[in-house]
Amino acid sequence: MASDEPAALAAAPRSKDFYGALGRAIKVTRTEQGIERKELARLSGLSYPYLSEIEKGKKRASTEALLPIARALGLRQSELLERAEGLLERDLSGPGRYGTARRLPAPDQRTLARVYRLQRTRTESASVAGVQELASRAGRLGADDFNRVLDLVRRLAR
């Protein structure tokens, strides 16, 4: 019987530790990109409480939830799972120096450049979507209404 889950998710370990690491991977990636949890919930189409529970490792993210989360973070689903596996491996390898938990390094210039590029891409995508929406609505207007809208735009542009 075939599964609807992507191969990467099906191959991922299903332990409680993995889902905790997945939540941390989402939170770390979101934080690195300067995205608030509320914004990620909006971008992914998930409820804020559900996303919060996933990030805290209290709930297991469904396959249907992981895909929009990864897309909202500018990642493929497999990349998000790889980040979780990396965090899990670090946790399983034991505590860091002096018995403390290992910390992720501060973002370097390359990471910051990627964040700015992602933000610019999202802004451009929103602009294109806005123009497409306007074109779609303009196509539904009658000739008189269209001319009135054009006159209004001309007056506003002055």
Residue 16 confidence class, pLDDT cut points 50, 70, 90: low
Question: Is pTM, for the whole model, over 0.75?
Answer: no
Query: How much is the pLDDT for 73?
Result: 92
Q: Tell me the mean pLDDT in the region 87-109.
A: 58
* DSSP label at residue 59: S
Question: Could you give the CA distance from residue 11 to residue 120 in angstroms, rounded to a whole number?
Answer: 34
Domain range for 45: 1-104
Residue 90 and residue 58 in one domain: yes
Name the residue among 16, 12, 65 with its Cα closest to residue 40.
Answer: 65
Q: How many domains does the chain have?
A: 2
72, 40 Cβ separation under 8 angstroms: yes
User: Distances from the Cα of 131 to the Cαs of 65, 92, 108, 136, in angstroms?
Assistant: 29, 49, 35, 9
Residue 34 and residue 92 in one domain: yes
**Which residue, 68, 86, 104, sits at the end of a domain?**
104
The contacts found for 103-110 with CB under 8 angstroms, 24 or more apart, are 104/28, 107/32
Is the pLDDT reported for residue 85 higher than 90?
A: no
Residue 20 confidence class, pLDDT cut points 50, 70, 90: confident
Residue 73 and residue 143 in one domain: no
Residue 52 and residue 72 in one domain: yes
Residue 30 and residue 64 in one domain: yes
Query: How much is the pLDDT for 5?
Result: 44
Question: Could you give the CA distance from residue 73 to residue 26 in angstroms, rounded to a whole number?
Answer: 8
**Which residue, 67, 86, 104, sits at the end of a domain?**
104
